[in-house]
Each structure stands twice: as structure tokens, then as C-alpha cells.
A and B are shown apart, each in its own frame.
Chain A
């Protein structure tokens, strides 16, 4: 009956939620294009029948219980479908927001390309949304709060200096204390604040 497709979509959302929680990495499964189109088609049918019911009521002129019940059921089905669609989309956009904050400093779209097999998992609108949200975050950081790196690590700093190991070549980087040449498998004793960003991006590993 109506609403079953919505449940299927929400089950899909639940699976994505669990995937996110268990692996920790920001991963979004494929956007359920087909399923969503079917749900929207169903809503279209429902609204057509709702219109039909209203027209019929105006014709016969009296509002009896039967017509009201039919109308109610139709509306409730539409509402249910709406809730399923919105919950699915909300989950995905929440994941995208987290992604933007965690991977900041790098262009989110390109880092998404690196993390997945391309941003093909996102719908066209989601890509647009991701881009605009990243812009918002950048605007906020370059506004009144330039002194603080808002997208920086949330773990409180415990040491000023740390040992790091280079996981992949990053070339030369400039720090307050001079230039490091980051060659794979070399080890450095550096100021934590200098390399935080590189740890986030996965070039360095904290020891």
C-alpha cells in the first residue's frame, strides 16, 4: 500500500546511519534516485486523487463522513511520504555538514572525490548544497573569528611538541621554526600547532 516505499527509503537511511557510526569515516552511500522518484510519483497520484475527492464533494454538495475519511487517508499518506523523504534528506545533509567541517582547509568537493570514487554518490542538488555550505563556513572563518581556526581539531592540545611520522610525501612546508621537507617514512619532532592541519589531511601520523 501507500507509504511502503517511504519505509524502504528510511530503512536505507538507517543503514547509512549505522555505516557512518561504525566506520567513523564520512561515507555516504549512493543517492536513491530511483526510489525517490517513485515516491514522488506516488505523492503525485495521491494529490490527484485528493483533488478528485474535493471536486466530487463540491459537486454533491454535502460533506459526509465517508468522503472525509477518504480525504483524510489520502492526506495522511502524503504526509507520511513527506516525512520519509525529509528524514532521508536531513540525514544526508547532516553527514555533508560534518564532512565540510572535518575536511576543511581543503576544497570539500575535491576531497570528496579523493575519499569516494567521485562525488557521483551525491545528487546534483547535494553537490550544490555542499559547495554553498563550504562557502558559508569559509565566510564565517574569515569574518570576526580569524584568530581562531574554527574547523581545527577539537581534541584539547596536551603537548606543545610532538613526534610525527610522514605517511605520504607532502613536499616542503613552511613553519615558524623553518622549513621541513616531508619525505615518506621520515620522522620529525615539531610543534603541534604547525602540523595540525597536515595530520587532519592524513599526511602525518602522530606518535
Chain B
């Protein structure tokens, strides 16, 4: 996840629901009405690049306990709700990750880092492992007639998220090239 990573930048643009802890005038454009103030407890969808920092910095911790609240509070987004996590636990392979969010893994990693969420990471590990076996199956089944043309397009391919697509493409390329080399021998 480098600074110039296109996928990372796109993942950072996903919106997360947040709640403001303070009245802040002049920030109404975050809500869609410029020039107005933003009210305390207002629910706003903020992109992650903004919400991540605002959820960390805030009032001075030195003054008193009330002021130590960060500017915004991140709320549990739909994509990490128990419903989704249960769906992952029950059958990672048949899950349509792409429809949940096309940058699911990247965002889950960011989220788990932000909140030290061990449970989420465990679920992710399991999910990645299960889905990787399927990805590997798809990637290594190279039909000889199809070498040169694009890969096979199954329904499973449509459920991959961006990270898995890269994984699939790389392993598919490597299988294809190896096979090509073996035949031409």
C-alpha cells in the first residue's frame, strides 16, 4: 500500500458513516449544504481519508475528560455488520464480495488497524484462505485452446474484489506462461 497505489487511493475514497462530536461552523459542505454549520451529533458520510484522521485527533486531552473526544466518531459501516460477517463465516466462496464493496479487503484491513479488531482479522483470514483455493482452481485451469485469448469468465470471477482480481490475474498469467513454455519445448 504505497502512497502512489491507485487501488489504495480508490479504497480511501469509500464513504463511512460518522457522527460529529462538536458543533463546527463552516463545515456544512461535508453534509451537502455549504456555508452552514455542522451540528453536534449530525450523521455524515465521510470518505475514509478524511474520517480516519478526524476520528483520531480532537480536543486537548489535558483540559478535562469531556474535551478529549475526537472530532468525529466512526460508526460501524454496513459492510462490517454482523450480517455480513455471518455470511462470510457460513460460506466465503459463494459470497459476492464485489457487491458488498469492490475494495473489501483493503478497507477491512484499514478498519481493523484503526480499531485493533482481532475478530474481524480472524474472519478475514478464514475468508481469504477459503477463497484463495477457489481462485487458484480457476487460475490454474488453463485450457490450451484458450491460451492467448482472455481467461475463462465464470460467475465466480464476477464476485472477486479488486485485490482478489490482482491475485487471480497474476497467478493465471504465471500458469499460462508456464504451460506455454512447456508446450513449445
With A3-B13, A72-B53, A73-B54 given, is the CB distance from A65 to B59 under 8 Å? yes
Q: Whole-angstrom distance between the alpha carbons of A70 and B3 in the complex? A: 25
User: Interface size (A, Cβ < 8 Å)?
Assistant: 25
Q: Is B47 a contact partner of A3 (Cβ separation < 8 A)?
A: yes
Whether B6 is near chain A, meaning CB under 8 Å from some CB there, is: yes
Bitwise, B67-79 to A at CB < 8 A (1) or not (0) is 1000100000000
**Contacting chain A: which of B18-26, B81-89, B114-122?**
B18-26
Chain B: which residue is nearest A66 at the CB level? B24
**Contacting chain B: which of A79-87, A97-105, A170-178?**
A79-87
List chain A residues, Cβ under 8 A from B58: 65
Contact of A69 among B5, B29, B47, B71 (CB under 8 A): B71
Whether B30 is near chain A, meaning CB under 8 Å from some CB there, is: yes
Contact of A66 among B4, B22, B29 (CB under 8 A): B22
User: Interface size (B, Cβ < 8 Å)?
Assistant: 29
Q: Is A69 a contact partner of B24 (Cβ separation < 8 A)?
A: yes
Shortest Cβ distance from residue A124 to the other chain B in the assembled complex, whole angstroms: 22
Q: Is A69 a contact partner of B54 (Cβ separation < 8 A)?
A: yes
List chain B residues, Cβ under 8 A from A76: 49-50, 53-54
Q: Is A7 a contact partner of B13 (Cβ separation < 8 A)?
A: yes
Q: Is A17 a contact partner of B22 (Cβ separation < 8 A)?
A: no
Bitwise, A184-205 to B at CB < 8 A (1) or not (0) is 0000000000000000000000
List chain A residues, Cβ under 8 A from B169: 21
Shortest Cβ distance from residue B10 to the other chain A in the assembled complex, whole angstroms: 6
Q: Is A3 a contact partner of B49 (Cβ separation < 8 A)?
A: yes
Shortest Cβ distance from residue A20 to the other chain B in the assembled complex, whole angstroms: 12
Majority secondary structure of chain B interface residues (helix, strand, loop or mixed): mixed
Whether B42 is near chain A, meaning CB under 8 Å from some CB there, is: no
List chain A residues, Cβ under 8 A from B25: 66
Chain B: which residue is nearest A7 at the CB level? B13
Q: Is B4 a contact partner of A90 (Cβ separation < 8 A)?
A: yes
Whether B9 is near chain A, meaning CB under 8 Å from some CB there, is: yes
Majority secondary structure of chain A interface residues (helix, strand, loop or mixed): helix
Q: Is B30 a contact partner of A1 (Cβ separation < 8 A)?
A: yes
Whether B106 is near chain A, meaning CB under 8 Å from some CB there, is: no
Q: Is B53 a contact partner of A80 (Cβ separation < 8 A)?
A: no
Bitwise, B23-66 to A at CB < 8 A (1) or not (0) is 11111011010000000000000010110011001110000000
List chain B residues, Cβ under 8 A from A84: 9
Q: Whole-angstrom distance between the alpha carbons of A76 and B27 in the complex? A: 13
List chain A residues, Cβ under 8 A from B5: 87
Shortest Cβ distance from residue B69 to the other chain A in the assembled complex, whole angstroms: 10
List chain A residues, Cβ under 8 A from B53: 72, 76
Q: Whole-angstrom distance between the alpha carbons of A7 and B30 in the complex? A: 16
List chain B residues, Cβ under 8 A from A140: none
Q: Whole-angstrom distance between the alpha carbons of A69 and B58 in the complex? A: 8
List chain A residues, Cβ under 8 A from B27: 69-70, 73
Interface on A for B, CB 8 Å cutoff?
Answer: 1-3, 7, 10-11, 13-14, 17, 21, 65-66, 69-70, 72-73, 76-77, 80, 83-84, 86-87, 90-91
